[in-house]
Structure 1
C-alpha cells in the first residue's frame, strides 16, 4: 500500500527510512502489548491483596526494594550475555525469556497464592520492561545515527504505546475475563513479536549496519572486573554519568508520584472491580495522550528546541504542580497527583527517555550500549532501592504518611534533576566534537624506556639498516638517556654517510674534548667530502678558538662553504674579513657551482649585511642557483627580499617562493597584501592570501578583514585565511559576517532547484555534476564563515566529519553544527547537506524558501554572468560545452570576456565556442 508523502512528512520520516521505522514500530508493538497486559494483571492483583490483607500502600515500597535487586541481577546478566552473544541471538533470547516468564506466571495463578507471589509478580513486570528496553534500544542505537535518533527515536519506540492502550483497556474487563486469560493473550503477543523480529532482520540495512558496527566487547570473567569496568566508564565519561544521573532523578520522581497517587486511589475505591477498572482507564488515558504526543510532537519538539531544552520540559511542569500541591486539601491533592502522574508518565515516555538515549548517540557503539545498560540496569535499580527504603522509613515513623513531605522531596529531586540537565549540555557538544575528531585523527606516540632499551638501541645503531640507525640517533638527540655518548660514537663509525650525519648533528651531547677529537678524525680520515664539511661546521659550534685557514683554501667547494659558514656564524674575528671576501668572490663567480655554494652559505649564516648578495642570486640566470637562493632567503626572513621576489614572481619556483614568504612572518604581510590588491586575478592569489592567514596576529586580521570588502572574487580564500589566523568575529563585525553567511546560504538554496530542473530537462550530466561541486564548495565556504562566528575548532571538526562522508560522521557533524550555530543558519544548512536525494532536498526547502522561476537559458546566463554566485571556471566551461553540444545560440558579448580568463580551460573553450559560432 502506497503511503501518502504528506503523512511521512508529518512524522518527519524519509522515504528510505519508512520500511525500517514501520517494522521497528510493529516489533515494539507486540512486545509492549505483552508487557502491558502483564502489568494490568499483576497490579490489580497486588492492590486487591493489600485490601484483603488490610495492609497499607507502603507495602509498595517493599516491591520497589525487591525490584532493585532483580534489576541489578538481570542488568548484570544482560551485560555479560551482550559481550558473548550476537545481536540477533541476544534479542531472540530476551523475546523467548519474556514469553516464557509470562506463561509461567499464568500457570501459577490460582487465587490462593501466598502473599509473596504478588510482590514478585509486580516486581517481575519491571524485569520484563528492563530487558525489553535493553534489547530494543540496543538495536535502535545501531540502526540509527545521531541525527536520525532525534527525529525517529520517539516514533520507533511509540509501538508499545498503542499496545499499552489496548492492554489497559482490556484490563477494564479483567474482572469479567480474569487475569489468567489476559496472561494467555500476553504470551501470544510476546510470541508474535518473534515473527516481526524475523521480518526486521531480513532488511538489508539491518545486515549491513550490524555487520559493520558489531564489535565484540572484551569478556570479563570476574564480577570484580565487571564492576571495575562499569565504574571506570561512569567516572571516565562525563556524558554517560550525567545522562545516568538524569535518568535516576526522573525515575525517582516517577516512583514517588505513583506511590502517592495509588495511595489515594486505594482509599477512594471500595470494591476490587471498581479499583481495577479505574486503574485500567487511568493508564489507558495516559497511554493515549502519550501516543499522540510521541507520534505527532516529540520529534518536532526535539528538532525545534534541541536536546537540553527538551529535557527541561518534564521537570519544569512537574515542579509547578508539586508547588501547587502544598496549598490544596485532600480532594485537590488527589487530582493534582493524578495529573502529575499522567504528565510524568506521558513526558517520561514521549520525550525524556528517547531524548536521553539520543544524547548518547555521539558515543562509540560500545559506550552507547554500556550507557543504556547503566541507565536501565544500574541507575534504575538504585532509584528503586533508594525510593523503596525512603518510603519504608517514612511510613515507619508516620503511619499516615504526610504526602506534602513527599511533595517537598519531589521538589528537591527536581532541582537536582534540572541542575544535571544543564551540566549535560556542554558535555553533549564536547562529545559530538570528540566523536568527529576520533574518526579522522590517528596519532602515534613513540617513547623510550631509559636504560632497559639501551641494548636494543645499540644493536639498531650498529646494525646494517641505515634508516633504523639514523632514526634512533634522531630519537635520542633530546632524550635524557644514560650512555647516550656511546650510541653517538657508534654512529660516527658507521659505514653509512646518512648515519654519520645524524651522529654529527647529535655530537654536542657528548663531552667537548671527545667531540673535538672525533670531528678532527673524521675530517682527516673520512673519504666523503660531505662528511668532512659537516665535521667542519660542527667544529665551529663547539670550538671557540680554531684556525679555519686550511679549510678556507681547501680544494673541495663543500669544505670551503663549511669553513666560511663556520667562521661567520662563530664570529671568529681574525678570519672574518677573509671569509666574507671569499664569499663575495663565490657569489660573483662565473661558475654556477660556486654561486650555488654562495647561496647555501648565505642561508646558513643569515647575515643582513650580506643581504644584497642573495638579492642578486635570486635573479641568477641559472635555475639551480635561483632555487638554492630561494631556500636560503626563506631562512633570512626578510621583507625586502619578499618584495623583490614578488616583483619578479613569474618564472620562479612557486613552492620555494611560498615557503620563503611564510618564513618572513608578519613583516611580509603588507608586502603580500599590496601584491594581491594589485594582481587580484593572479593564479597564486589564493595561496598568498593563505600565507597572510598563517602569519596570524592583529595585523593579518586587519588586512584580511579589509581585503574581504575589496576583493569579492577572493572572498572564500580570505575567509579560510581568517580562520587560519585564529580570527574571531567581534560584536562590531557580527552583522557583516552574518550577512556573508546569508548570501552564501541564499546561493546554496538555489542550486538544488537548478540541479533538479536540469535533470528533468535531461541536460548534460557534466553540468549537473558541476553544480553538485558548487553546492559542496558553498558548504565549505559557509563552514569557513561559521568558524569565524562561532567555535572555530568545533566547526573544523564538523567539516572533517562531513568530508569523511560516512553516515555516522555526517550525522555527528550536522548535529554539532545544529548545537553551536543559530537556527537561521543551521536549519537550511542541515536541509541542504543531510541527505543525498535532490528531490527530497527541494521538497524540504520549499517549506522555508520560495522556489525560483527557472529555464535552461536563465540558468546558463546566471552561471556565465556570476549573478547569484561566483561560479567556478569549471562550471562555466561545462555550460559552454553544453551550449556547443546542443548547438544553442551563443551570446558573443557573454563569451567574449571569457576569452581572456586566467583559467586556461575556460579560455580555450570560450574561443572554441566563438569559433564554432563563426563557422556555422
Structure 2
C-alpha cells in the first residue's frame, strides 16, 4: 500500500527511501507552518491590529533580506549539509525561546500599546519560512537529478500539504486540550515540529551526499553570480522582477485579507477557528490543484500558462471586491459587508493555493537551464534574498500609501489589479527569454562535447580501465569488482594485467579471483608470473591457484562426471559444472548446459551464460539473447554476446524484430551493434532508424555516433527530422 502511494506520487523503484525522508520533512514542516501561522496571525490581530500591518511587512522584508543574504553567503563558504542542519537548529532554538519568553512577559492588547513578542513572531514568519523552504528544496535538488526533479517536483511536498491540512483542521480541537490555555501555546506545537525537522535533516545529510555540488564547485571554474551580475543578465533580471511583482501582489492581498478579517472576526475564539479552517481549506485547494491540475496545465499548456493562471484569477476576484466594496461598503461590519469579505477571502484563497501549488513549482523549472554548479546559488538569491526584497518594498509602499489620509482599504485593491496585470505581462516575456536561455544551454553543451572530440569517453568500461591504471589500490580493487559485474568474460585478462601490480592486496585479489572463476586458459601466464614472485604469501597463493586450475584443466568430461556436478543438489557443484562445460567438444553434452541456463539460482545461470558465450555455439545464441531483458543477467548476457563479435549479428537482428520483444532487449541489441562495430553494424542500425519506439531510436543514434557514422544527404535529412521530433516532444513537456 505504501509503495502504491509512492507510485501515485510519481516515484519509481530505487527512489522510495529518498521520498520517505523528504515527505517526512515536508509533513513536519507543514505542521510547523500551520500551528505557527495560526498562532502568530491571531496574536497579531488581537494585540496589534491593522495599524501595525504596514510596519510589520516592512520589518519582515528587511529581516528576510538579511536572513536570506546570510544563508546565501554561508552556502558559498561552507558545506550545504552544515548549512541546512545549522539553519534548522537556529530556527528550533528561536521558536522554543520565544515560547518560553511568553512565560515571563505579560501579553497586552490593542489598548495597552505595542507588544513586542507578537510583533516579533509575526515579522519572523516570512524569514523562517523562506530559509526553511530554501533548505528543503536544496535537499530535494541535491538528492534527485534533473530528470527526477522534473518528474517529482509537483508531488514531493504532498506530505507537507497533507500534514498542514490535518494541522489546520485539528487546531480547533487542540486548543481545547488542557495544556493549550492561550493562543501562544500553539507555538509549543511548532517547537515540537521543528525538533523533528532537525532530526530528519540530520538523517538525510548522513545518508546522502548532499555536498557533491560543493565538491564540483572546487573542481570547476564557477561563473560570477553576484547580485550585480543577476541584474545585468537579461534572463536573471526578468526572474528577479517577476518574483518581486508576484510576491508584491501576494503581500498586498495578505494585507487586505488581514485588515478584512480584523473587521469581520474581532473575537479571539472565532478568529482562531476561522484562521484554522480557512488556511486548511487553502491547503486542500493546493493539494487538489497540485495533484490533479498541476500536471495537466504544465504538460498541455506549458509554463507560460502556469505562470499566468494565478494573476488572471486574482484580477477576477479583485474586480468583484471593487464592485461590492463601492456598492455595499468595506469598512463597517454589517450584512452587506459580507459581499466584500467573500471576494477578498476568495481572492486570498485562490492566490495562496495557486501560488504554492502551480506558480512556485513552475517557477523553479526556470532555473534548470543554469549550470548545476551555479543553479542553486542563483535560485537561492532570486527566491530568497530578492523574494524577501519584494516584501520589504511592499511594506515600504504600504507605509507610504497609508500616510496619505485619503487612502482607504479599497484603494489597495486597485494596486493589486495593476500588479497582477504586470505579472501577466512578465510571464509572457519571461517564457520567451526562457526558451532563448534553454537553446543557449543546449548549444553550449553540444559545443562542449564537440570540443572534447572523444566518443564514449565516460562509458563504464572506459572509466574502469582508467581506474585500473590508478596507483591507489582501493580504486583498483573497486574497479575490479565493478568489472566483474559488467564484463565477466574479459575479466580474466584484466586480472592477469594486475599480477604485475606493486600492491600486495591487488595481486592477492587477482590470484583469488582467477582461482574462483576457474580461468584455466590463463594457467601458463600465471606460472610465468609466479616464478618472478618475491612475496612469500603471494607465492603460496599463486601455487594454490595453479593447483586449482591444473585440476580443472585435467578434469575429464564424461556423461557421468558432468552429471555429478550439473545435476547436483548443491549450488556450488552446479556452478562448478557450468564452468567445466566450457571444455565440452561433443554435441551430446549441450543439453546439460541448456539445463543450467534455466537454473533458478542466479550464480549458476550466470556461470552457464559465460560458458555459452565462450563456446560460441550457434545453438546457444537465442538463449543468451533471451536474457538481455532480465536485470539480473543482462550484463552477463551482454558480455557473452560482445565476446561473440559479428557472429551474433544475424541472431541479434532477428531477436530485435521478434513479435512482442521486450524494449530492454531491443535497446541492448542496439547497444551491442554500437559496441561491436563494423560496416555491417552500421547497416543493421540504419535499418531501424524509423523504429516507432523513441527510447530505442534515441539509443540507436548514440550507437551510430559511437561508430563515427557519417550520414549521406538523404540520411542526414531523416536523422534531422527524428531529432527535431524528439526535441519537439521535450519542448512540449517543458
Matched, 1:417 2:388: no
Matches for 1:778-857 after TM superposition, within 5 Å: 821=728
Which residue pairs with 1:215 in the alignment? 216
Summarize the alignment of residues 15-34 of structure 1 with structure 2, pairs less than 5 Å apart.
Answer: 15-34=13-32
The answer for the alignment partner of 2:257 in structure 1 is 261
Deviations along 1:218-244, one digit per CA (max 9) or x if unpaired, are: 99xxxxx99x921113322x3322222
Q: Deviation of residue 437 (structure 1)?
A: 3.2
CA shift digits 1:325-368 (9 cap, x unpaired):
33223432211111110001001000111111121022112432
Whole-angstrom CA distance in 1 between matches of 2:32 and 2:74: 23
* Alpha-carbon spacing, 1:8–1:72, altered in 2? closer, same or farther (3 Å): closer
Mark the CA change 1:400 to 1:757 in structure 2 (over 3 Å): closer, same or farther: closer
Q: Give the superposition deviation at 1:408.
A: 1.8
Q: How does 1:206-285 map to 2 (within 5 A)?
A: 206-207=208-209, 210-211=211-212, 214-216=215-217, 229-236=226-233, 238-285=234-281
- 1:463-474 residue pairs with structure 2 within 5 A? none
Contact in 2 for aligned 1:261/1:341 (Cα 8 Å) = yes
- Corresponding residue to 1:756 among 635, 651, 662: 662
Would you say the 8 A contact 2:72–2:381 is kept in 1? no
Q: Does 1:36 align with 2:34?
A: yes
1:639-659 deviation digits (Å, cap 9, x = unpaired):
xxxxxxxxxxxxxxxxxxxxx
Of 192, 200, 204, the match for 1:188: 192
Secondary structure in structure 2 of the residue aligned to 1:270:
coil
Structure 1, unaligned stretches of length 5 or more?
52-56, 220-224, 446-749, 786-795, 805-815, 831-920
Among 77, 80, 90, which residue is 1:87 paired with?
80
The RMSD of aligned alpha carbons is: 4.1
Q: 1:83 to 1:322 in 2, by over 3 A?
A: same
Q: Deviations over 1:526-581 (max 9, x none)?
A: xxxxxxxxxxxxxxxxxxxxxxxxxxxxxxxxxxxxxxxxxxxxxxxxxxxxxxxx
1:61 alignment counterpart: 54
CA separation of 1:21 and 1:171: change in aligned 2, threshold 3 A: same
* 1:576 aligned residue: none
In the alignment, the residues of structure 2 paired with residue 246 and residue 297 of structure 1 have an alpha-carbon distance, to the nearest angstrom, of 23
Listed one character per residue, the Cα deviations across residues 406-446 of structure 1 (whole Å, up to 9, x for unaligned) are 2221121112111111112222222223333333434999x
> In structure 2, the residue corresponding to 1:84 is in which secondary structure?
coil
Distance 1:374 1:751 in 2: 53
Q: Does the 8 Å CA contact 1:141/1:361 hold for their aligned counterparts?
A: no
**Alignment deviations for residues 149-196 of structure 1 (CA, whole Å, 9 cap, x no partner):** 333112113332223223323443575413443222222211112332
Cα 1:201–1:297 shift into 2, 3 Å: farther
Q: For the residues of structure 1 that align with 2:725 and 2:45, how far apart are their CA atoms?
A: 48
CA distance in 2, matches of 1:364, 1:18: 27
Pick closer, same or farther for the CA change 1:378–1:757 going to 2, 3 Å: closer
Residue of structure 1 in register with 2:716 after alignment: none
Matches within 5 A, 1:102-251: 102-109=95-102, 110-112=105-107, 115-173=115-173, 176=176, 177=180, 178-201=182-205, 203=207, 206-207=208-209, 210-211=211-212, 214-216=215-217, 229-236=226-233, 238-251=234-247
Q: Secondary structure at the match of 1:154?
A: coil
Using a 3 Å threshold, how does the CA distance of structure 1 residues 245 and 143 change in structure 2: closer, same or farther? farther
How far 1:803 sits from its partner (Å)? 7.5
SS at match of 2:14: helix
More RCO (CA 8 Å, sep 6+): 2
Q: Deviations over 1:464-495 (max 9, x none)?
A: xxxxxxxxxxxxxxxxxxxxxxxxxxxxxxxx
Quick one: distance in 1 between partners of 2:668 and 2:449?
Answer: 40
Q: Is the 1:152–1:299 Cα contact (8 Å) retained in structure 2?
A: no
Shift of 1:758: 9.1
Q: Distance in 2 between matches of 1:337 and 1:2?
A: 40
Does the residue aligned with 2:27 lie in a helix, a strand or coil? helix
Task: State the match for 1:397 in structure 2.
Answer: 404
Does 2:282 match 1:286?
yes
The alpha-carbon deviation at position 371 of structure 1 amounts to 2.4
Aligned to 1:363: 370
Residue matched to 2:339: 332
Contact 2:58/2:395 (<8 A) preserved: yes
| Structure 2 CA distance for aligned equivalents of residues 267 and 779 of structure 1 | 71
Describe the shift of the 1:400–1:150 C-alpha distance in structure 2 as closer, same or farther (beyond 3 A): same
- 1:15 match: secondary structure: coil
Residues 245 and 777 (structure 1), Cα distance of their counterparts in 2 relative to 1, 3 Å cut: farther
Q: CA, structure 1 residues 401+218, in 2 after alignment: closer, same or farther (shift >3 Å)?
A: farther
1:311 to 301, 307, 319: 307
Q: Which aligned pairs between 1:514-593 and structure 2 lie closer than 5 A?
A: none
**1:76 pairs with one of 59, 69, 79:** 69
* Bigger CA radius of gyration: 1
Cα distance in 1 for residues equivalent to 2:65 and 2:219: 21
The Cα of 1:49 is off from its aligned counterpart by 0.2
**How far, CA to CA, are the matches of 2:703 and 2:388 in structure 1?**
38
Question: 1:184-221 deviations in whole A, cap 9, x for unaligned?
Answer: 22222111123323443455xx33x74266434799xx
Contact 1:151 1:302 in 2 (8 A): no
Q: Contact conserved, 2:369 with 2:441, CA < 8 A, in 1?
A: yes
Check conservation: 1:138, 1:372, Cα contact below 8 A: no
Q: SS where residue 409 of structure 1 aligns?
A: helix
SS at match of 1:755: coil
Q: TM-score when scaled to structure 1?
A: 0.47
Deviation at residue 270 of structure 1 after TM alignment = 3.2
- Structure 1 stretch 415-424 or stretch 139-148: which is displaced more? 139-148
How many residue pairs align between the two structures? 480
